Amino acid sequence: MEMRTAGTIVKPLLNLTLLMGLFSASACSLILPFDDENGPIVLDAAPDSSLTEQICSKYEDNDSLNEAHPIEAGSFTAALCPAGDRDHYAFDVAENQDLTIQVTFENGNTPAGDLDLILFSQSGQEIAQQRSTEDEEKMVFSDENALPPETYILEIHGFNEQSTNTYTLTLTLQ
Ligand SMILES: [Ca+2]
Ligand SMILES: [Ca+2]
């Protein structure tokens, strides 16, 4: 009789353990929808298919001020990729010359695609920054704001270390 009593005590405990197992299993499945919600964010952050190896390597290596790729007035398309890339371009401004720097791209309203600018002097001193959430970043130095004649270095970088994008840089000197 004592053994049976003991048995009836053990069985409910086992059943309780099973129930707890089922509960925790269902609790685990409740976590999955959160993973699904994170999914679209990762998809948005993924670089688009236009980021080919060819355009990612254009004018590289140019990740530091010392490696700035020399350019002249005109327009070209390059890209910030892979993630964490920084592009530097060096150009000369002559006496009494107005300078306009225009960088256009798409998805500037998302961290994944937003690009920003910094202009440095040749010695590496920061002159100006341009950061918006538009699909265009523009710097204008004209008339009383014209820059002294010198070599300048433009840095194009992402909003964060995950930002990648193609861009068109137009440099106007007149
Ligand atoms: Ca690049
Ligand atoms: Ca680069």
Q: What percent of the chain has pLDDT over 70?
A: 72
Nearest to 161 by CA among 116, 105, 103, 102: 116
CA 62 to ligand 2 centroid distance, Å = 5
Nearest to 115 by CA among 53, 167, 54, 39: 167
Residue 1 predicted with pLDDT over 80: no
Question: Taking the CB of residue 80, how many other CB atoms lie within 10 A of it?
Answer: 24
pLDDT tens per residue, range 29-42? 444 444 444 444 44
| Strand 115-121 to 126-130 pairing | antiparallel
Residue 159 predicted with pLDDT over 70: yes
Nearest-ligand number for the alpha carbon of 62: 2
Residue 24: its pLDDT value, please?
46
The amino acid that residue 71 corresponds to is I
Report helix, strand or coil for 47. coil
Residue 95 predicted with pLDDT over 60: yes
Residue 6: its pLDDT value, please?
47
What are the sequence ranges of the domains in the chain? 4-40, 53-173
Q: Could you list which residues have their CB under 5 Å from ion ligand 2? A: 62-63, 85, 87
CA 78 to ligand 2 centroid distance, Å = 10
CA 137 to ligand 2 centroid distance, Å = 18
- Pick one of 1.10.10.10, 2.60.40.1510, 2.60.120.380, 1.10.3720.10 as the CATH number of 53-173: 2.60.120.380
- pTM attached to this predicted model: 0.73
- CA–CA dist 122, 65 (Å, integer): 8
CA 157 to ligand 1 centroid distance, Å = 9
CA 20 to ligand 2 centroid distance, Å = 55
Residue 48: its pLDDT value, please?
57
- CA–CA dist 88, 164 (Å, integer): 15
Nearest to 172 by CA among 145, 138, 144, 143: 138
CA 48 to ligand 1 centroid distance, Å = 15
Nearest-ligand number for the alpha carbon of 78: 1
| Strand 165-173 to 99-104 pairing | antiparallel
Which residue would you say has higher pLDDT here, 47 or 64? Answer: 64
CA 85 to ligand 2 centroid distance, Å = 5
Q: What share of the chain is helix, strand, coil (3-state, %, to 5)?
A: 30, 35, 35
pLDDT tens per residue, range 98-149? 999 999 999 999 999 999 999 999 999 999 999 999 999 999 999 999 999 9
